[in-house]
Structure 1
Amino acid sequence: MRVSRLVFLYTAVRLAVVAGCAGAAVAGVHLLGLEVSLTWTLLVGVLAGIAVSLVALHRLRTRINDEIRIIDNQRKYPPKRPRP
């Protein structure tokens, strides 16, 4: 249950960061009065947001990996049946 909450939190925050960077790119182009298509502006904003979120959310990704590692270590595999 804890892993699913962490993954949900990571996904939500990462989407927010990407959307914020894309919005900032669009606002920056508009404020500077540049003649750049909206498609290119959004593409640059999304790519920048992905890069920023990878760096900014490193600790949260590490926590998720640690939780997954704990679950894997606690998992018990069923014993193998002896062949007749």
Structure 2
Amino acid sequence: MKQTSTMRLPRLVFLYTAARLAVVAGCAGAAVAGVRILGLAVSLTWVLIVGVLAGMAVSMVALRRLRTRINDEIRIVDDQRGDRPKRSRS
């Protein structure tokens, strides 16, 4: 049975969110480990901030294909909604 876009979209968004959180957590953990291994005197707060920001940037690049699939599914759902009559907001 073929899934419709309205069924696929939530699954893809969940997968993208989970993958992005994993990449961000991994980068933050790597930043903390790197500072501890190098023995640098840097506040844990700053290390985590840098790790999270780096993780967000890495995840945007690394998960580009998944984000493109989500955008395509959103476009399909919007096109399907365009076929329905519009409801007035009164």
TM-score normalised according to structure 1 size? 0.90
Deviation (angstroms), 1:72: 1.1
Q: Provide, for residues 26-69 of structure 1, a one-character-per-residue CA deviation record: whole Å limited to 9, x for no partner.
A: 00000000000100000000000000000001100000000111
Identity %: 79
Deviates more, 1:64-73 or 1:23-32: 64-73
SS at match of 2:25: helix
SS at match of 2:84: coil
Q: CA RMSD in A?
A: 1.3
Amino acid in structure 1 at the alignment position of 2:12:
L
Residue 23 of structure 2, aligned match among 17, 21, 36: 17
Q: Which residue of 2 aligns with 1:62?
A: 68
Report which of the two structures shows the higher radius of gyration computed on alpha carbons: 1
Amino acid in structure 1 at the alignment position of 2:40:
L
- CA distance in 1: counterparts of 2:42 and 2:13, whole angstroms: 35
SS at match of 1:68: helix
Q: Which residue of 1 aligns with 2:41?
A: 35
Q: Which runs of 5+ in 1 are unaligned?
A: none
Q: Provide, for residues 1-46 of structure 1, a one-character-per-residue CA deviation record: whole Å limited to 9, x for no partner.
A: 2000000000000000000000000000000000001000000000
TM-score normalised according to structure 2 size? 0.84
